Structure 1
Amino acid sequence: MRIFSGLSAFPITPMTASGEVIAEDLAGLVRCIEAGGADSVGLLGSTGSYMFLTREERRRAVAAAVGAASSIPVIVGVGAIRTDEACALARDAASEGAAGLLLAPVSYTPLEEAEVFAHFEAVASATTLPLCIYSNPSTTKFTFSPELVARLARVPGIAAIKLPLPSGDLATDLAAFRAAAPALSIGYSGDWGCKDALLAGCDAWFSVAGGLLPEAASALARAAMAGDRDEADRRDSAFAPLWDLFRTHGSLRIVYAAAQMMGLTTAEPPRPLLAINDDLRAKVAAALL
């Protein structure tokens, strides 16, 4: 199986109030992901709060995750505002044993396509690891066109793209990117729609829930990738209360609360994010039943 395929499970990065990674808790999450049947660990994505961590703490997180994962690859987010910083983070991840990289075009000033292309070209050349384009326009304010992705697909080292769920027809969106870049592995995030993305023939599900409930998410992914719509629908329906919470409140605060309830960590979301209130915690608890 290619590295950017199947279920890629994205855990939170437990940290102290001062931003120090709680390595023991992170390692425990990674061991659960591996035991649950996921195909890879997606470390330091948005769920992993990568922009809240210093370079040193991000490196510690990679070391902890790679040390805990004995049989599945660890894909590491290396997004940073400056290109030289992203290159340095890529080299750090490679030196700590990461198997692949994930890069979003993080910026303060909105980026143009030529700037994004140059940024990705530089980071892809910083190591020999395969790199996945991370399209997350809700946070980066940049949207990848199929035309730009076609150009990026010709850059040595760029091997995959992680797409958000489209506002329009999913099959049409997948077909457009598949035609533009047939050699790339194409996956989606947005857990509530990824069953349909896998049934439509995408290669990967980049999953928040997989970082928390890997066994159930793995079973859903396997059913959908096998084309078993009835089984995939059945397993997806069990997640419906959690999907509703993700859509309504966003996933990050929800998964922190869930991880606490499951005894996986006592860490709170990094400030200025605040923990959810008691009413919402009750809904999270009910969704986990």
Structure 2
Amino acid sequence: MRIGDVLYGHFEVEEVLEQLILSNEVQRLKDVHMAGPAYLQNPLWNETRYEHSVGVMLLIRKLGGTLEEQIAGLLHDVSHTAFSHVIDLALENESDDYHEKIKADLVEHSELPKLLQAYGFDYEQILFDDQKWTLLEQEAPRLCCDRIDYTLREVHRYFDVPLYEIKQFIEDIQIDDGQITLRSIDWAVWFIDQYYKVVIDFFYDPRNICSYEWMAQIIRIGLAEDMITMMDLMGTDTAFIEKIRRIDSEVIQSLIKRMEAPASYVVCKKEDNYDIYQKKKTRIVDPVLIRDKQLVPASTVSEKARSKVEQLRSDSEQGIYLKLI
């Protein structure tokens, strides 16, 4: 199977990857949006978990990762519910990891174990501890393929960052003992800037915040009043929308109308009479470089990098207050 990606180019992949890509579990992700219900406010915000998952797999491949790690990358988000992280807001799960908590159970009750076993792979060894795959996952603020892919993908699509810059950044990556490092402090600073656009300018865009708030309210009300079940959230975004449209509830139907109309708001302060406050998971990056054969964070090499990392941390921890008008 030959597969292509706008960021990384074209690759011929092994049969096991082909079959995993064609599986119902991965195909479902074509209708699970990365930004949750935000595409209802802005149809251009339409990146899916499928695009991201395939992208992570290909980036791992491009950086020399094993076939097992590519499999882990392809399937790392397979347990995301409809509308991605909106479930975390609905359940007040501040760690944003509901999909990780249910991953083992979802995998065990899917066709993935049988498929992987048919090709001689131990699904438990590959899928149940992403932290063992050092290209795929790293604790913040280090870089990993998961963090890199959604950043590059979203700044290219939503902020018009040109492909030539993205490709030059990828060329600056080097792998040291399984760790993603950068050669140049300039590209480290560049990536911090791109990450800021995603985490602050995009994730905290008021339209994004409003859509999350209203869908989270729908989920809370629906679950509390037995109008929906958690199994409804294990389908696609489209299927879930169709489900809630049929619910005989004025409150839920009013919230759906809000999500589908342009949000009217003003950004305000804590002391103001605000309607919505959201504080997302704190996300920062501080890319690692090699200096004198040592791995050192960019923030210790460059004052500009240090200042940008601290600004990212501060703005990420602040959250946002909105007054609806």
Q: Same fold (TM over 0.5)?
A: no
Higher helix share: 2
| TM-score relative to the length of structure 2 | 0.29
Larger radius of gyration: 2
